């Protein structure tokens, strides 16, 4: 647990992945001053909600009315996240660096901090800061509790696998465990490694999957936003394109099965049914399955992922998917020939 040097300041900055632990840290600070969250000396602003920067700045400069000191707690200040407004970031940094009234104490907490932002470095310089990390024991207990909420137990090996792949983000853990609980069904009470190994999206791959899903749907604005974030993070644009190529290959295979008559489009279930998927795959004509590329074969995917691919493939005809595949491949060669990545990817997205 990293902390700043303990020197008298008016600004406290706590960050870490768990909202509950951050709240408990603020509660402890207020308790030490004889206050709680409902006290008139405490003002709470949720930066993730509709609170504007003007409201935040006005609160910082407004003196307390009925108490000697005012505690201003800003939760999830958007400026600390990826994509925060540079203009607002500059104004906020200038305000806190100049100083706020001596009667005011500012407390900032956030669970999704982009540590490369200017505001993050500024806060570390002028505040009492602390990174609230999760202990392994606490994280394991939290995962077990989340699984329990979904009516499941989780094997210790599966638990370790989840921690390795997803890290310590409680929101991600809840999202993925819900997906796993639906996948294994109500009859199975314990989650095993095999239930999740091909189902969850790892931290490293998540942005690429988000880009692929937004591209094929298509959600152009989402695609552009994700691509810009990936490029800002110095991700390899050719790697992004190749991930898209792999995803489109799978969609072409899935759509081929539908148009070949192996699957009746009207009978494809909206919800996941493992047995239905496995039966349809087993009955698919060998002459069709043999045409699929071995390095990216549909049969190598988990049945749940096959279900998602089949549902997604219904959005376009086979010829349309092939055309989109060719468009992506054209973009690949443009990148290989050193055309500007941002320009190539933006043109591809807007064309889709």
Per residue in 79-112, pLDDT (tens digit) is: 888 666 788 889 999 998 888 999 999 999 998 8
- Do 98 and 141 lie in one domain? The reply is no
Establish if 76 belongs to a structural domain: yes
Establish if 269 belongs to a structural domain: yes
Establish if 230 belongs to a structural domain: yes
Pairwise pLDDT comparison (28 vs 203), residue with the higher score:
28
Establish if 292 belongs to a structural domain: yes
Per residue in 131-157, pLDDT (tens digit) is: 988 777 888 888 888 888 888 999 988
Determine the pLDDT at residue 8.
42
- Do 214 and 347 lie in one domain? The reply is yes
- Do 59 and 120 lie in one domain? The reply is yes
User: Last residue of some domain: 196, 214, 238?
Assistant: 196
Establish if 1 belongs to a structural domain: no
- Stated length of the chain: 352
Cβ(74)–Cβ(47) below 8 Å: yes
Cβ(258)–Cβ(320) below 8 Å: no
Query: Nearest CA to 316 among 271, 263, 258, 270?
Result: 258
Percentage of residues of the chain with pLDDT beyond 90: 20
Whether pLDDT at 7 is above 80 = no
Tokens standing for residue 302: 């988990």
91: domain range?
A: 11-131
- Do 72 and 145 lie in one domain? The reply is no
Whether pLDDT at 13 is above 70 = yes
Determine the pLDDT at residue 204.
57
DSSP 250-299: HHHHHHHHHHTTSS-GGG--SS--HHHHHHHHHTS-HHHHTTS-GGG-GG
Determine the pLDDT at residue 3.
43
- Judged by average pLDDT, the poorest of 70-79, 167-176, 186-195, 258-267 is 167-176
- Do 324 and 241 lie in one domain? The reply is yes
- Do 334 and 273 lie in one domain? The reply is yes
The total number of structural domains that make up the chain: 3
Determine the pLDDT at residue 323.
92
Type and span of the H or E element at 232: helix 220-232
- Do 74 and 161 lie in one domain? The reply is no
Note the pTM of the prediction, 2 decimals.
0.50
Determine the pLDDT at residue 296.
59
Q: How much helix, strand and coil, in percent to the nearest 5, is found in the chain?
A: 55, 10, 35
- Do 160 and 85 lie in one domain? The reply is no
């Amino acid at each position: 647990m990293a902390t700043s040097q303990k020197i008298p300041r008016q600004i406290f900055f706590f960050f870490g992945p768990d909202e509950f632990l951050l709240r408990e840290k603020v509660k402890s600070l207020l308790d030490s001053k004889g206050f709680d969250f409902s006290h008139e000396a405490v003002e709470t602003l949720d930066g993730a909600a509709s609170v504007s920067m003007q409201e935040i700045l006005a609160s910082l400069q407004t003196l307390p009315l009925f108490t000697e000191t005012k505690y201003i707690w800003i939760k999830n200040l958007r400026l600390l996240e990826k994509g925060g407004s540079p203009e607002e970031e500059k104004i906020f940094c200038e305000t806190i660096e100049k100083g706020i009234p001596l009667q005011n104490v500012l407390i900032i907490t956030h669970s999704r901090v982009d540590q490369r932002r200017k505001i993050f470095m500024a806060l570390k310089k002028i505040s009492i800061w602390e990174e609230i990390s999760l202990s392994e024991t606490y994280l394991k207990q939290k995962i077990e509790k989340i699984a329990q909420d979904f009516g499941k137990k989780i094997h210790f090996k599966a638990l370790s696998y989840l921690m390795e792949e997803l890290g310590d983000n409680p929101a991600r853990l809840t999202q993925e465990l819900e997906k796993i609980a639906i996948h294994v069904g109500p009859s199975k009470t314990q989650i095993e490694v095999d239930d999740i190994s091909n189902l969850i999206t790892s931290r490293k791959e998540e942005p690429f999957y988000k880009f692929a899903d937004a591209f094929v749907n298509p959600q152009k604005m989402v695609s552009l936003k994700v691509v810009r974030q990936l490029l800002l993070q110095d991700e390899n644009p050719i790697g992004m394109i190749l991930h898209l190529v792999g995803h489109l290959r799978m969609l072409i295979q899935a759509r081929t099965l539908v148009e070949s008559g192996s699957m009746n489009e009207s009978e494809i279930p909206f919800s996941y049914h493992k047995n239905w998927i496995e039966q349809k795959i087993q009955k698919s004509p060998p002459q069709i399955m043999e045409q699929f590329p071995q390095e990216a074969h549909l049969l190598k995917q988990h049945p749940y992922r096959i279900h998602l691919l089949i549902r997604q493939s219904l959005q376009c005809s086979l010829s349309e998917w092939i055309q989109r595949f060719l468009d992506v491949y054209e973009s690949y060669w443009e990148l290989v020939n050193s055309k500007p990545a941002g320009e190539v990817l933006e043109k591809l997205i807007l064309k889709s």
